[in-house]
Structure formats: C-alpha cells, structure tokens
C-alpha cells in the first residue's frame, strides 16, 4: 500500500444485468468503502454494496456529465480517505472506459490499484441476439469501435476494415456508419443486428439490413450497440 492511501479497484460491471458481474467483482463490491459508479450502472448492481459510500460520476452522451478531470481527482481523494475504493464501470474497464486517464492519475498519486475485467457489451449483445460475431468460412475478424470523440478531436472516424463491425454508443452515429459502408461498396443487404438496453429487462433486439440502417434508429432511445456483417445472417428461426 502506497503511504496512507487505500487501494482502488477498477471493476467492470458488465453489460447491465446485476448477475452478469464477475464473482470477483461482486466480492470486491461487497467489501468496498466507497464506490464511484457510471450512469449505466443499475440500482440492482449498487444493491451489491449497501455498506459503501456511493458517488455518482455518470457520463452520458449528449447530457451534462462529470468532467473526467474531476472524476480522476475524486478517485484519488477517495483513495486517500478510504481503505478500499471501487471505480465501477459499465462493461469492461479497459474498453471505451477512459481507464487510461484514471490509471495515470492513480499512478501519479502513488496509489495502488487493481483491474477486474467485466463482460463487454459486444459479447453480451451477441449472446442476447444468439448470433456469434465470428462464423467459420464467413467471418474471422471482429472490430470494436466508437464514433464518440473527446472535445477538440475531429469528428471524422475512419471505419475499420473487418468482417464483423461492432459499434458502441451507435445510436445517433449509425446512419453515418451505414452511409460510409455503402459508399465503400458494402451491399445494402448486409445483415445488421441492433441491441438496445443489452441484458436488461427492457432489452430490445432489432434485425435489419445495412440499407435500412442508413435511415437511422428512430425507435431506439436507450443505449444502443450495432453489429454489422455477414456473420449475423439469420439462421432458421433466428
């Protein structure tokens, strides 16, 4: 333990459902003195740590959210006043979770930390839709990407060249993704599976084609993950 500081755990909460957190993650939550949690973490998940001080540091696209620099400082301050601190992140901490900034802040402050992985939304969405992201003879590569950018970064994001594409936070950006793929020569009949509110009681799975996706996802209001590629072609009955 560094100095008088406690230890910080970056814990992946998984895709949403409380029973999809790992056993290790749940055990550490039950021991936590303070939990800094994201906007997508559910009340059922927070019920796993009734003893802890709960600190909301939610970040939602298009809404006012806690600045990352403030989250970093809250994390450091919490570690200096508590024995065991959890930074609870949706999905997996190491994918689109701003972990780099938080790890740097902890390292600069000399605070000990550990990372507990979680189920990322792409894998949970594939399970919900019953469609593997890879398929023998059809798809052997998968790219996970997001169009979300930090302030000051250019909005133009180059799409990866891969058999199966999985776009995180893809609600509003899905139209642009579809247009770029069609311009690149992809067929308008390319299968698309959209999963909204993955693993939660109000989960919704939508199956469409790339040509349809270009028209947008007006019916989706919750967190959306978009999967594109021939591996997602329907099987009999699915």
**pLDDT category, 1, cuts 50, 70, 90?**
very low
- Taking only the tens place, the pLDDT of each residue in 207-231 is 999 999 999 887 788 889 999 999 9
What is the set of active-site residues? Answer: 38, 59, 169
- Taking only the tens place, the pLDDT of each residue in 58-116 is 865 545 557 899 999 999 999 999 999 999 999 999 999 899 999 999 999 999 999 99
Residue 152 pLDDT: 55
**pLDDT category, 173, cuts 50, 70, 90?**
confident
Q: How many CB atoms lie within 10 A of CB 180?
A: 15
202 vs 199: CA distance, rounded Å: 8
Which pTM does this prediction carry?
0.89
- What is the Cα Rg of the chain in Å? 19
Higher pLDDT, 3 or 35: 35
User: Which residue in the block uniquely carries the two structure tokens 């901490």?
Assistant: 93
- Taking only the tens place, the pLDDT of each residue in 83-97 is 999 999 999 999 998
Closest CA to 221 of 202, 199, 208: 202
57 vs 71: CA distance, rounded Å: 7
Average pLDDT, the chain: 91
Residue-by-residue DSSP string for 85-115: EEEEESB-TTSSS-HHHHHHHHHHTT--EEE
Strands (E), 45-186: 53-56, 84-89, 113-116, 142-146, 164-168
Q: What structural domains does the chain harbor?
A: 7-116 (3.40.1010.10), 121-232 (3.30.950.10)
Q: Decide: 214 and 208 in contact? Cβ < 8 Å.
A: no
Confidence check: pLDDT of 156 > 60: no
Mean pLDDT, to the nearest integer, of 28-52? 96
User: Which residue in the block uniquely carries the two structure tokens 């609870």?
Assistant: 88
209 vs 192: CA distance, rounded Å: 5
Residue 59 pLDDT: 62
């Amino acid at each position: 333990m560094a100095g008088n500081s406690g230890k910080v755990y970056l814990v992946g909460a998984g895709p949403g459902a409380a029973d999809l957190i790992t056993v290790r993650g749940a055990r550490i939550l039950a021991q936590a003195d303070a939990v800094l949690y994201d906007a997508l973490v559910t009340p059922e998940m927070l019920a796993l740590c009734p003893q802890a001080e709960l600190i909301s540091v939610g970040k939602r696209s298009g809404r006012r959210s806690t600045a990352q620099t403030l989250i970093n400082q809250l994390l450091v301050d919490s570690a200096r006043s508590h024995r065991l601190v959890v930074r609870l992140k949706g999905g997996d901490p190491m994918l689109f979770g701003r972990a780099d900034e938080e790890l740097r802040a902890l390292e600069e402050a000399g605070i000990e930390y550990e990372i507990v992985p979680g189920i990322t939304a792409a894998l949970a969405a594939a399970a919900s839709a019953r469609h593997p992201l890879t398929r023998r003879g059809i798809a052997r590569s998968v790219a996970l990407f997001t169009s979300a950018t930090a302030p000051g970064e250019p909005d133009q994001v180059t799409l990866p060249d891969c058999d199966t594409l999985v776009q995180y936070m893809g609600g509003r950006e899905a139209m642009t993704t579809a247009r770029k793929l069609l311009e690149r020569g992809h067929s308008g009949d390319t299968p698309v599976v959209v999963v909204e509110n993955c693993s939660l009681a109000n989960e919704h799975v939508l199956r469409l084609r790339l040509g349809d996706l270009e028209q947008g996802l007006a019916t989706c209001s919750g967190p959306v993950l978009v999967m594109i590629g021939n591996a997602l072609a329907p099987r009999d009955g699915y």
